[in-house]
Chain A
């Protein structure tokens, strides 16, 4: 997750039972996001997230027999002219505060920026689709 420079997509996807309305799922997701936007998260949650990110960073470094590390160094050389940034990632994690999490959620996790895609099996095709060619 550290080898890019620019906006990325944040996505969540799931299958749900036919008895549940998509709106119920969106509302459950909104509840969680809203609490991130409005309430400062506990420091203990941030500590746990940092542990998980350290763990995940070590996995990234060893990915594909070591290519993960080469990839990160190449990206930092390309974007920042500083491949040694790879050594300071862990200390950057530790600078994240509850306030920063809230600000980030308010900036990026806005429902006006959101696209929702639904695939409904058995739903009728829109009439504007071209007819299939007969074989």
Chain B
């Protein structure tokens, strides 16, 4: 084979992502609606995102939002659960309900021929759920099982301690309920949670995909009559920026699970995209420095990764790694070595260029994978109060980041003396190794 054939051609510079024209409007009851015609495959994604979730739980109500989401799947005032599932299946889809920290999403993807009927079915599930008492014990048992599975996993225990430390006295900091609390939730608790937190003013409906028929009319007919209610209250969180080392003893553990992180600039900050590039170079991509160091070169761990997590109007950076017990201390040393190195010297233009190409590429891919992915991006932009141009200018902004930007972002935000460190592992074997991180 000639060398010419062995060398792939140079790719052109990354192109921006163009969001197709979106129709945005509000219903008289305050519900916001966005319709985006997108793609050629005859499917349409419909998703109602309600500003209701863990953030609306009091200290004794952890996972009540999840129980509410589970009970919402159990039929409406006019359709038993089995009928909802059957009708959705006849439209080539299903209705899924997921609750998270800030939002509950009720949505699904159906064949475009059934777009209008799917909107009507989804509206029924969203606005008139039956929340039947006789299904509660089974769903509670499911959640209790899920809780015991989660609590048997060291990664989940580390995560629980990490968010608990970062968000003390805020619902974001409460990962798991006490089993006894979960057992005690009643149908009336669920119904009260639904009444208080689900209404038109808190909801944004997104439709994306190949649009057939007058879906705007379908939305107005199916959702125009829902009670307006009041918008979600503001409950700002002030994540901890205090250095601490948290150890959870797991006698006999072969691995230690590490989480190291701290709050960073919110998505609305001009620094946010630079932070994403910095994160990707430091630990967030397979080609990143921390991954090359502790996985490829030293073999301490298989799956280290860093990421920027977001909640409403805030963000935090976190590096995670499950490392062999005997190298718990050395792994921490290497992670902090890489953080310090990036804070002290800019990366080479070549290293940065590779990361920029990667981030631009996956951004476009992520957006074009499915109509539901478009909805995810639009929801992120809307929920964080960003301008829609965030999506069309993202690639350019990523490509504009300079090596000195990366250094200065790392220096500004990745301050070791403000980091929370969580280690789940065999205390007897790791105490000496992690002692240097006790205080700083």
Contact = CB atoms under 8 A, between A and B. Distances in A.
A52 B89 contact: yes
Contacts of B110: 55
B1 interface: no
A65 B92 contact: no
In the complex, which range does the number of interface residues on chain A fall in?
10 to 19
Interface stretch (B39-47, B63-71, B375-383): B39-47
B369 A51 contact: no
A62 B91 contact: no
Contacts of B41: 58, 61-62
Nearest to B39: A62
Interface string A50-62: 0110110011011
B93 A55 contact: yes
Contacts of A121: 152
Contacts of A61: 41
B43 A55 contact: yes
A4 interface: no
Interface in A42-84: 48, 51-52, 54-55, 58-59, 61-65
Nearest to B429: A135
Interface string A86-103: 000000000000000000
Contacts of B145: 15, 17
B149 interface: yes
Contacts of A65: 365, 368-369
Per DSSP, are chain A's interface residues mostly helix, strand or loop, or mixed?
helix
A17 B148 CA distance: 10
B371 to A, nearest CB: 9
Nearest to B325: A135
B90 A51 contact: yes
A55 B111 contact: yes
Per DSSP, are chain B's interface residues mostly helix, strand or loop, or mixed?
mixed
B86 interface: yes
A63 B39 CA distance: 13
Contacts of B111: 51, 54-55, 58
B23 interface: no
Given A48-B90, A51-B89, A54-B92, A62 B369 contact: yes
Contacts of B152: 121
A58 B43 contact: yes
A128 to B, nearest CB: 22
Nearest to B91: A51
Contacts of A55: 43, 92-93, 109-111
Interface in A12-53: 15, 17, 48, 51-52
Contact of B369 (A52, A54, A63): A63
B105 interface: no
A62 B370 contact: yes
A52 B141 contact: no
Interface of B: 39, 41-43, 86, 89-93, 109-111, 141, 145, 149, 152, 365, 368-370
Given A17-B145, A58-B42, A62-B369, 6 more contacts: A52-B89, A55-B110, A55-B111, A59-B370, A64-B365, A65-B368
5 nearest A-B pairs in the assembled complex, by CB-CB distance: A55-B92, A51-B92, A58-B41, A65-B365, A65-B368
18 contacts: A15-B145, A17-B141, A48-B86, A52-B92, A55-B110, A55-B111, A58-B42, A58-B43, A58-B111, A59-B43, A59-B370, A61-B41, A62-B41, A62-B370, A64-B369, A65-B365, A65-B368, A65-B369
